[in-house]
Structure 1
């Protein structure tokens, strides 16, 4: 079977090998960059869980992220028509980054491990859904309408998130400051989504210098506020189970 027949079977009869591999390389790069954000969220949400629950949180969190991406990929055309989608998603991600930092005291109530696991998974899936907007739109654009390439993009993102989450967890344990680096990446992603929102794109184009101030202010508010709340929580005695 020659290459042209193979591409025709994949629904890409009008493609050549150069276009195929260019699109594939674009998707790989997109997943390496954007799936890294998801890995950071999974690691930060799972860091306070007991050791035996962390791997489960990573696996189930990744599974949930992939399912939401599949659903969003199927509905990508519909998603593009929702006004303010990136704006709402960016604002939600800023709140998630703040919560992940402010909850970093590590205090746990004895006997509440199931609730902690459920809370971690909820945070992971919500954050991955929000950030998945960027990923799905980017991959769909790079795939030029090819479902085959979109599926490859989803398959590539899975090992990146699992491996990246495990690595990020080890870094957080060894270097606690990694939490703030991860949160800073989430803040950057959130502000980028807000600025990319078509509804207000004209405003940013008229005052491009203001975007830099927004990045700085968001970093200060989220990282500074999260650090202050986390420090207060650490100085308070841990809650006791009733």
Structure 2
């Protein structure tokens, strides 16, 4: 897969929401020149962990859903899953800054991330061997996902497409929530989310399975970002739900 294409596409996505190349570069330079400050370092660490964990989780889900298919169909579903995740991450990145200006969406995004956290916790604690996927040989680390494999090519492709929409939106919203006050870090985080999914998702999935603490640290970060978004989604003077009078005395 062309790495230049990934970064070019992600950069174009960021450009549409953050101004032109000069504005994007200025935001990145500003945030990373102050990366030693507690706020910027915390935001970047959160973004990095979110991108790593959700890229690995995406790969695990795709591999598990495809596991029950014949080898040629399994490989097609995995390719579809990775390409769809790339396209969707870029598409959501295109509109994330506009979405974050909608009253109530930060609050809704925080609730969505809480649901994501619950799903991740369930995946880390599978219901039992009968519910587990045998895993796809192409994806390392999906053997204990707790996800039932699809029974046909069409069912697998549909399940992967639905999962990709959800996980890509989750990833972009989580990055936006973690780095909302640091546009340069937000831009880099969106580019990283695309790059990791396209280049290193399988590698990440293998190590998340081997070192489960990585997933737990990521889970804690996502829960923190979720509660932060819920709080800001209530009290923010511009886009908080209090502006709708929902929480008025």
Question: Which structure has the greater CA radius of gyration?
Answer: 1
Question: What residue in structure 1 maps to residue 133 of structure 2?
Answer: 105
Q: CA offsets per residue over residues 146-193 of structure 1, 9 Å max, x none?
A: xxx865553343212222312134457xxxx44955653553244223
Task: Using the TM superposition, give the Cα deviation of residue 119 of structure 1 relative to its aligned residue in structure 2, in angstroms.
Answer: 0.8
Change (3 A) 1:122 1:53: same
Instruction: Tell me the matched-pair count.
Output: 184
Equivalent residue for 2:119, pick from 86, 96, 100: 96
CA contact (8 A) 1:46 1:120 kept: yes
Q: CA offsets per residue over residues 35-69 of structure 1, 9 Å max, x none?
A: 11221221121122123422331121122122123
State how far apart, in whole Å, the 2-side matches of 1:99 and 1:150 are.
28
TM-score between the two structures when normalised by the length of structure 2: 0.55
- Secondary structure, aligned partner of 1:94: helix
Are 1:37 and 2:56 matched, yes or no?
no
CA contact (8 A) 2:28 2:187 kept: no
TM-score between the two structures when normalised by the length of structure 1: 0.57
CA contact (8 A) 1:89 1:193 kept: no
Question: What residue in structure 2 maps to residue 198 of structure 1?
Answer: 231
Q: Name stretches of at least 5 consecutive residues in structure 1 with no aligned partner.
A: 1-7, 203-242
* 61-70 or 29-38: bigger deviation: 29-38
State how far apart, in whole Å, the 2-side matches of 1:186 and 1:69 are.
21
Change (3 A) 1:24 1:185: closer
Equivalent residue for 1:19, pick from 4, 9, 30: 30
Question: What residue in structure 2 maps to residue 57 of structure 1?
Answer: 81
- Secondary structure, aligned partner of 1:78: coil
Equivalent residue for 1:47, pick from 35, 41, 63: 63
C-alpha root-mean-square deviation of aligned residues, in Å?
Answer: 4.1
- Greater helix share, 1 or 2? 1
Change (3 A) 1:185 1:150: closer
Are 1:116 and 2:156 matched, yes or no?
yes
Change (3 A) 1:84 1:75: closer
Question: What residue in structure 1 maps to residue 182 of structure 2?
Answer: 142
Q: Name stretches of at least 5 consecutive residues in structure 2 with no aligned partner.
A: 1-19, 67-73, 135-147, 236-249
State how far apart, in whole Å, the 2-side matches of 1:28 and 1:143 are.
11
State how far apart, in whole Å, the 2-side matches of 1:60 and 1:95 are.
24
CA contact (8 A) 1:40 1:165 kept: yes
Q: CA offsets per residue over residues 109-131 of structure 1, 9 Å max, x none?
A: 65x12211221231232123124
